[in-house]
Structure 1
C-alpha cells in the first residue's frame, strides 16, 4: 500500500508539474494571442488609414486631371482666338498701311497747297502784312485815293 501511495503521490506530483507546465504554456499562448490581436488591430487601423489616403490621392489626381483638361480647353480656345485675330490682322494690315500712306500723301498735298496759297496771297496783296481783310482794304483805298490825289495835283 505504501508503494501504491508513493506511486500515487509521484503521479500526483507529475500531474501537478504537467499542469503547471501546461498553465505556463497556456499563459504564453494567451499573451501571444493578445499580442497578435493587438498587432492585427494596429495593422487594420494602418490599412484603413492607407485606404483613406489612397482614396484622397485618387480624388486629388482626378481633380488635377479635370483641371488640366479644363486648362487645355481654355488654352485651345485662346489659341483659336489668337489665330483668328492674326488672320484678321493680316487682312486689315495692308488696308491700314495703304490708308496711312494715303494720309501721308494727303498731308503732304495739304502742306504744298497751303504753301502755294500763301505764295499766291503774297503775290495778290501781301496778305501777311494785314491782320484782317478790312485792314487790307483800308490800306488799298488809302493808297488809291493817295495816288488819285497825287495825280490830280501833280
Structure 2
C-alpha cells in the first residue's frame, strides 16, 4: 500500500536528517488525512486510488505554482516547488509515455466507437477508469482531442 511506503519514507527521512523530504512527506500525510476526514461515512474500496488522487492533485498544484513563480521571476521558489514535486512523484505509479497514452486512446476509441468531439467525455471517462493512476489527465485531454479531431 502506498500509505505504508509514505510512512516508511518518513521514518527514513527522519533517520537520514533529510529535512526537505521529511517536510514534504509531512505535507503528503496531512493532505491524505484531510481526504480521509472528507471521506468519513463513505465506503472507500480502493485506498491506493484515494492516495494516488491526493498525490496527483498535490503535483498539479505545485506545477501551477512553479509556472506562476517562473513568470514572476522567483526562481528560488520555483526550485523549492520542484523539489517537492520530486518527493511526491516517488510515491506515484510510473506515468505512461505519450506513445503509450496515444495507444490507449486508440484502443478506447475503437472499443467505444468514438468518432468525433461529441464522444470526448466518453473516451476521457474510460481512459480515467482504466489508466487514471498512471496518467496526467490534463495532458491526456489534449491527446484525446487530437485523436478525435483527426
Where relative contact order (Cα < 8 A, 6+ residues apart) is larger, the structure is 2
**Structure-1-length-normalised TM-score:** 0.19
| TM-score normalized by the length of structure 2 | 0.19
Query: Hey, which of these two has a bigger chunk of helix by percent?
Result: 1
